[in-house]
A and B are shown apart, each in its own frame.
Chain A
Amino acid sequence: MAEIPTIKLAPDVITDIGPFAITNAHMGTFLVSIIIILAALYIRKGAGVKPTKAQVAFEMLMDFIMQKMVIAFGDKKTAKKFFPLIFTIFLFLLVANQFAYLPLVESIVTEDGIKLFRTPASHYSLPIAYTIFIVFLSHILALFIHPIRHIGNFIKIDQLWKIRKLSDIPMAFLNIFLGLLDIIGEVAKLASLSTRLFGNVFAGGVIIIIISGISTYTQFLAPIPFLILGTLAGFVQAFVFAMLSILYISSALNAVRKPQSI
């Protein structure tokens, strides 16, 4: 029986620059950034009125996300404002999630036997950083647009003024309580959005390591179905992360911009 490689949640430290430890997850992030920049330069070079193949593919991808954003935000102007942010996250995750399954990338080791690259999202820092950024951005923007209305969406004191008769009282208190529950929901967003991305990507890598580590015979054909599944999961998770970020930002903004109907 072949030896199953050790699986670690924390990334390995490669070098230290000052007080910062450069881990292999960092190196993976840098590599993804470089790949995206090179791809952008390549597509930009051939771009024109008569589109090249890469340009057509890229524009289809952009249109696809743009359509979803227009539906979520309700108008094209706001959607265009947030498009660079969402699309950057989407592109980054799209490339980064394929890392665990690309041959060679995770096989490069340094002199100490440490992997030089690691899938960026399989280190919890990256998903939690993106999630904190998205959730806080939605709240801060909503606070800038209409602070009182945004806070009023959570602490619904205005319900007390709406009491006209005695039978309204239970409903008003129920609404206040639901508003308080929404605060917990906002905290749960942080956990759910980040853990979803992290768990999927990390588990994809772990499954392949374990399957190919069971014995010598399972190293060649047995991991192929799991590789396909992992590739699909990588695409889907990038898409889902982008969609949910759109949903969080747009729902916070839409709740503030339009007056409440109830």
Chain B
Amino acid sequence: MEVEAAKLLAAGLCMGIGAVGSGIGEGIVGGRALEAMARNPKVSDKIFTNMIIAIALAESTAIYALVISLIILFVF
């Protein structure tokens, strides 16, 4: 395999596999937050800010994968 082809494959696989976990995680966070909001609409503002923090935390693995694939594509 040529180096260029291997680079493209590596970047695509890295991003694709890396996004799986954080996708599941964000889905769980969002779903549970909506459940909680529906059950108790008065505190929905508080839940919303906490949900955003939790989503950003769950997102981080996908962001690491993204940074790695960007480095593979543009630096090497």
A-B contact count (CB 8 A): 40
Verify if A5 is at the interface (C-beta below 8 Å from B): no
Asked if residues B74 and A199 are in contact (CB atoms below 8 Å), the reply is no
Additional A-B contact list (12), CB under 8 Å, known A7-B74, A9-B71, A198-B67: A8-B74, A9-B75, A195-B63, A196-B56, A200-B59, A200-B63, A203-B63, A203-B70, A236-B52, A237-B56, A240-B52, A243-B53
Verify if A239 is at the interface (C-beta below 8 Å from B): yes
18 contacts across the A-B interface (CB closer than 8 A): A8-B74, A9-B70, A192-B60, A195-B63, A195-B64, A195-B67, A196-B59, A199-B63, A199-B66, A200-B59, A202-B70, A203-B63, A203-B66, A236-B56, A237-B56, A239-B49, A240-B52, A240-B56
Chain A, residue nearest B52 (CB): A236
Give me the 3 closest cross-chain CB pairs, A-B, nearest first: A199-B63, A240-B56, A199-B67
Query: What is the predominant secondary structure among interface residues of chain A facing chain B?
Result: helix
Please report the total number of A residues contacting B with Cβ < 8 Å: 17
Contact of A195 among B52, B55, B57, B60 (CB under 8 A): B60
Measured between beta carbons, the chain A residues less than 8 angstroms from B71 are 9
Known contacts A236-B52, A239-B52, A240-B53; is-contact A196 B70 (Cβ 8 Å): no
A196 to B58, CA, bound (A): 11
Size category, B interface:
10 to 19
Tell me the residues in window 3-46 of chain B with beta carbons closer than 8 Å to chain A beta carbons.
Answer: none
Measured between beta carbons, the chain A residues less than 8 angstroms from B70 are 9, 202-203, 206
Asked if residues B52 and A196 are in contact (CB atoms below 8 Å), the reply is no
Measured between beta carbons, the chain A residues less than 8 angstroms from B52 are 236, 239-240
Please give the distance in Å from B40's CB to the nearest CB on chain A: 19
A236 to B54, CA, bound (A): 11
Measured between beta carbons, the chain A residues less than 8 angstroms from B60 are 192, 195-196
A175 to B73, CA, bound (A): 42
Measured between beta carbons, the chain A residues less than 8 angstroms from B64 are 195, 199
Tell me the residues in window 216-262 of chain A with beta carbons closer than 8 Å to chain B beta carbons.
Answer: 236-237, 239-240, 243
A200 to B65, CA, bound (A): 12
Please give the distance in Å from B35's CB to the nearest CB on chain A: 21
Asked if residues B63 and A196 are in contact (CB atoms below 8 Å), the reply is yes
